[in-house]
Structure 1
Amino acid sequence: MYFRFLKSFSNSRPPDRTTGFHLAVFLAFSVLLACSPDRQFEEDLAQEKQADGWRSYQEQSFAQALVNFERAIHLSPELSDAHNGLGWSHLSILKTAQIPASSITQALSSFEQAIRTNKQNADAWVGLANTLFLRRQSSSDYRSAILALDTSLTADTSLLYRHDYRSMADIYALKSLCYRYLGETELANQWSNRSESIASVEE
């Protein structure tokens, strides 16, 4: 039908602007019809790979988690939580070893991309805070980590407490450590006390 349309069109009189416009619309619509199912398949597969990534992460198979998250991102570059999972996987693989600057950079880049695609991803803000705390290039890293933690609590909190940290007590504990490294002992103690208070209730 499509080729018959083109043939009949080529045998007709030279197209005016209106006919040309209609042809352009027809071609664009045909392309959309051809591409939409494939794109939806890729989106569904990306979601599946993202879920596989988090399952692998929970099983502490961090290398496999990296692979799954990277596949999800390849299929859907705007998938915020896949970038977020990639960042946490980089940190978890290296948390028991001395962390090279390049690995910190990879984690940082992943969390920043997660936030760029979804500023409400609270878990990515916590991941960013952890990465900045580990980098410790200057006092500004601690300040930025504190800001990231504060932002996480105003974002989509349904994304919090899914893995490494389990409650507000852990977030407050990290905030306390940031203030301690900044030499702000009074604030460090305040947040430490809040963390311990929450933890004692949860026990």
Structure 2
Amino acid sequence: MATKTGLPKDVRPADTSMIPPGILDSKKRKIYNPVQKNWAYIQKYGRETQGAYGIGTGSLQPGGENGAHWHGSYSETFTSLKGDVGVYSASRGKVTLQPGDSVTVKPGEVHYFFNDGDEEVEFQTKIEPAHEGFEKALYVMYGLARDGKGGNAGVANGLMDTAVICSMGDMWPGGMTGALVPLLKILGWWGRVSGKQKALVDKYWVGA
């Protein structure tokens, strides 16, 4: 239940950075990436499920895909909602999900999703357990893209921004670029110590 400030009872006004922006304003549940020309909509933040899971939906343009990556602390389940959604995982290879089909990628497994069709597709992702850092990283990625700083793979142009996103969201590159993980972890640590991470979160999450 919210107080007169609009915040849940267990959150003080000074701690609004803890509140996902879409809880305070439902319009902020949907974010857009002009680089990839796709959108994401957060159906359930982890804070709304007591940390059990997080659910979102997203779109992907024809020919689009994100870079191969892995998550160390949570699984990710993909479900096609519209069109044929491609998902690659190290254990299954490439699979095509038709509407209603799902596939789960376990923690630590390299994966990516793609659209090799001629029309935009839509899909749902569910991460278990929830990971607020992932939610924040998503807002930062899309925010940087809107500011002209987003990379084609959906992360960021700048190495430090990329490191902060990877570290905060527990999303690490796979494949040949996986060799960069040790460097990204060091830079991610520096991003936390130097205040870079806080600045990004303040701008694109708190100030969404």
Q: TM-score range by the shorter chain?
A: under 0.3
Higher relative contact order at CA 8 Å, sep ≥6: structure 1 or structure 2?
A: 2
Structure with greater Cα Rg:
1
User: What's the TM-score once normalised by structure 1's chain length?
Assistant: 0.24
User: What's the TM-score once normalised by structure 2's chain length?
Assistant: 0.24
> Which structure has greater strand proportion?
2
